[in-house]
Amino acid sequence: MTDRPGPTTRTRVLALSGLAARDRRDDLATEEPLEIRLASPPERRTVAITMRTPGHDFELAAGFLHGEGLAGEIEAIAYCTDDDVPPEARYNTVTVRVAGPLPELPALERHFLTSSACGVCGSASLEALHHRCVRLESALRVTASTLYGLPGKLRQAQGVFGRTGGLHAAGLFTAAGELLAVREDVGRHNAVDKVVGWAALQRLLPLSDHVLMVSGRSSYEIMQKALAAGIAMVCAVSAPSSLAVDLAREFGMTLVGFLRDERCNVYAGAERVEV
């Protein structure tokens, strides 16, 4: 039977400290490909291949598909047992069965199999989002003191990061700062997909009264995934990109950056932050 990959991989390193050296074991964050297939028998199609940290793979697939506009279509998710998948790749291939015929997804395939670009420029990317996303309306209000507590809570919940020091994290919080779910991955966007996928499988979407906290920077890709999930506030430990700020302002989202040491910058939607 093929072993299922775990989130960490054991290795040996030569550790140097000053002029001293010793051989010791170390834990690495596992990075392996995940192939996501869509199926509506007899049709079957690969729509994404992403490098990820194994764990919560079904949530990753569900969150990814929701972000691409396939919410409500999923009937079942399972590891693939198709004849063309060798045994050693079974746990790196997920099949998502959807209701009805498979949608036309040429843009989706191009986006995830060859490039992470969503358009020829920022304006084109935002314009494309208007075809499937609407401006968010949310009564969410969060105090500054609650925001200041989010990074510490997220860090404390990062079990794999504590062992490896090499993973991003995304956490979903209530307006009062209660941590509902945290997911880790080598990719920031994968961590967000896992959190959104968890909420989708729990039938909690949209998340208009919740806060998403990410351990790194906030990019366009993270913001569009949050927008598709209805998340009105996104916070990040580091800086946002210019297109992330444009997206937040265009779609009525609150974007907080450099959230650490009881300090932060609010780049959009400041009315939701109570000082």
Q: Please give the positions annotated as active site.
A: 118
Q: Confirm whether residue 64 is marked as ligand binding.
A: no
Fill in the amino acid letter for 206: P
Place of tokens 């499988």: 201
Q: 3 a known binding residue?
A: no
Is 258 flagged in the annotation as binding?
yes
- HSE of 57, CA atoms in CB hemisphere, 13 A: 30
- Whether 260 has a binding-site annotation, put simply, is yes
The string of DSSP codes covering the chain is: -PPPP-SEEEEEEEEEETTEEEEEEEEEE--EEEEEEEEETTEEEEEEEEEE-SSSHHHHHHHHHHHTT-TT-EEEEEE---TTS-GGGGGGEEEEEESSSPPP-HHHHHHHHT----SSSHHHHHHHHTTT---------EEHHHHHHHHHHHHHT-HHHHHHS--EEEEEEETT--EEEEEEESSHHHHHHHHHHHHHHTT----TTEEEEESS-B-HHHHHHHHHTT--EEEESSPBPHHHHHHHHHTT-EEEEEEETTEEEEEE-GGGEE-
CA distances from 71 to 86, 99, 158, 223 (A): 30, 11, 28, 17
- How many angstroms separate the CA atoms of 224 and 136, rounded? 12
Q: Which of 53, 90, 85, 87 is nearest to 184 (CA)?
A: 53
Report the binding-site residues. 258-263
